[in-house]
Structure formats: structure tokens, C-alpha cells
Amino acid sequence: MSDAATTIVLDQRLELANVKALHAELLRTLKGSSALVVDASRVEVIDSGSAQVLVAFAQAAFDARVPVRWTCSPAFDAFFTLTALKDALDSPPHP
């Protein structure tokens, strides 16, 4: 494993049609990574299905003790703030 962070660049549109591919990419990248950067700086549209996948990914990374840093676009940040999910990306709660 490398000490350098692996970067995941998110698409401009995070919609239900691509949620399976997003989920697969996130899980594939999580395996074998010691640190991650999620570049959401280009995201303009996000739906609830994609948000759910991202929150589950943040939880999986937290459980695996893989730190994740988020680079957010205004639209991405606004969506997660308005839906009260922003904290779930940075420090997912445990049941």
C-alpha cells in the first residue's frame, strides 16, 4: 500500500442511471487505498440515490480506517448541507 492518497473524480451529473457504476468504482478504489480524496468539484447535479451511495461509501471508508478528504463544488456542498447529510460524509455515525 502506498502512503499517497488515491483520488476519485466524480462526474458532473450524479444520477440514478449511473449509481451502480459509481458504487462499483467507489468500492474498487476503497480496497487497497490508505487514503482517499473524493474530487466532487465538478458536480452540478446529484440525486438522492447517488447521495445514499456516497454516504454508504463514507461509512465503509470510516469502518476500514481509510481517511477520506472531500473537495466539493457549490452544488455538491449545498445538496449535502440542505439534506443534513454533510456530517455523514466526514464522520459517519455508527449505529
pTM for this structure?
A: 0.89
- Residue with more model confidence, 42 or 4: 42
Cell of 11: 462526474
- Residue 12 burial (C-beta neighbours within 10 Å; 0-12, 13-18, 19+): exposed
Whether the per-residue pLDDT at 93 is higher than 90: the answer is no
Judge: domain 6-90, CATH 3.40.50.300: no
DSSP secondary structure, the chain, as one string: --SSPEEEEPPSEE-GGGHHHHHHHHHHHHTT-SSEEEEETT--EE-HHHHHHHHHHHHHHHHTT--EEEEE-HHHHHHHHHTT-HHHHHSPPP-
Whether the per-residue pLDDT at 1 is higher than 60: the answer is no
Q: Where are the domains of the chain?
A: 6-90
pLDDT recorded at residue 9: 97
User: What is the arithmetic mean of pLDDT over 65-75?
Assistant: 95
